[in-house]
């Protein structure tokens, strides 16, 4: 069942989303060669509690950290560790918080130092595909309109959409219905309605879209070890169109 949230509930999620966005912005500025992903997780936890929020990922399905830190071929959900970032890496920071009883979720992919032209194109393509997807999230459209828009843009740019991982509803719980494919056909699936709150999150690979489990048993990697990028926003569907909740 897809939950429908009131304007008051969505406003609370907007408050939490602004906190989340500020934390991600702070974390992105700390990304540099020579630091560990465990350090970034500690910074994230300290900031979450300083804002009066809670980490919504920690403990979810046994996940041991507040922040997901996926490097290079890691797509999502990699656990922070003593791994040291180096120049030329790309890092996805994926964070969820719970504030006043409601969850929000967002992710960004950032370069570590200098990256080559094709990798920068991967990042900009993934980010742009999220912007395109958000425009589809309005009352009367269909759920797969979102995935179709992502897939259509990404494949025209020469990359592949990860098909075995999905976006999702979000609100009182970290993950709610519906599951949101990052590919699809137009005018298929659930009709989008005012009051739905969705975490849209395109994941894109330079190479094959197939995936495998990471060594930490929580994260996922590309099967061919090609680089991947990931961007995510929590959005609310309103009568005036999509409203991004995880934006400063």
Q: How, if at all, do strands 160-161 and 90-99 pair?
A: unpaired
The answer to the question of residue 1 being in a domain is no
SS3 (DSSP) at 214: coil
Summarised one tens digit per residue, pLDDT across range 85-124 is 999 999 999 999 999 999 999 999 999 999 999 999 999 9
Tokens representing 126 are 């993934």
Q: What is the pLDDT of residue 10?
A: 98
Nearest to 177 by CA among 185, 168, 186: 168
Q: Which domain holds residue 167?
A: 7-244
Average pLDDT of the segment spanning 153-181: 98
As a whole number of Å, the end-to-end CA separation of the chain is 30
Give 84's pLDDT tier (boundaries 50, 70, 90): very high
Q: Domain total for the chain?
A: 1
- Sign of the C-alpha dihedral computed for residues 80, 83, 84 and 88 taken in this order: negative
Confidence label for 248 from pLDDT (cuts 50, 70 and 90): confident
> Which tokens is 225 given?
């070890």
Does the residue 2 lie in any domain? Answer: no
With 90 as the cut, is the pLDDT of residue 158 above it?
A: yes
Specify the CATH number for the domain of residue 206.
3.90.230.10
pTM value > 0.85: yes
219 domain-assigned: yes
């Amino acid at each position: 069942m897809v939950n429908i949230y009131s304007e008051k509930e969505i406003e609370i999620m907007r408050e939490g989303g602004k906190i989340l966005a500020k934390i991600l912005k702070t974390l992105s500025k700390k990304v540099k060669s020579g630091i560990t992903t465990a350090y970034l997780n500690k910074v994230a936890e300290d900031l979450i509690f300083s804002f009066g929020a809670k980490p919504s990922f920690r403990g979810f399905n046994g996940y041991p950290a507040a922040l997901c830190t996926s490097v290079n071929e890691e797509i999502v959900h990699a656990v922070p560790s003593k791994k040291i970032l180096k120049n030329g890496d790309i890092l996805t920071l994926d964070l969820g918080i719970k504030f006043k009883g409601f969850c929000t979720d967002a992710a960004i992919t950032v370069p570590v130092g200098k990256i080559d032209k094709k990798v920068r194109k991967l990042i900009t393509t993934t980010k742009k595909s999220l912007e395109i997807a958000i425009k589809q999230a309005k009352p009367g459209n269909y759920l797969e309109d979102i995935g179709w828009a992502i897939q259509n843009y990404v494949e025209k740019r020469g990359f592949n959409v990860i098909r075995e991982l999905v976006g999702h509803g979000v609100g009182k719980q970290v993950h709610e219905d519906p599951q949101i494919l990052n590919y699809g056909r137009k005018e298929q699936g659930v009709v989008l309605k005012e009051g739905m709150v969705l975490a849209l999150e395109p994941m894109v690979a330079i190479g094959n879209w197939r995936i495998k489990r990471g060594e930490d048993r929580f994260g996922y990697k590309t099967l061919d070890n090609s680089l991947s990028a990931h961007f995510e926003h929590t959005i609310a569907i309103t009568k005036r169109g999509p409203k991004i909740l995880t934006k400063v």
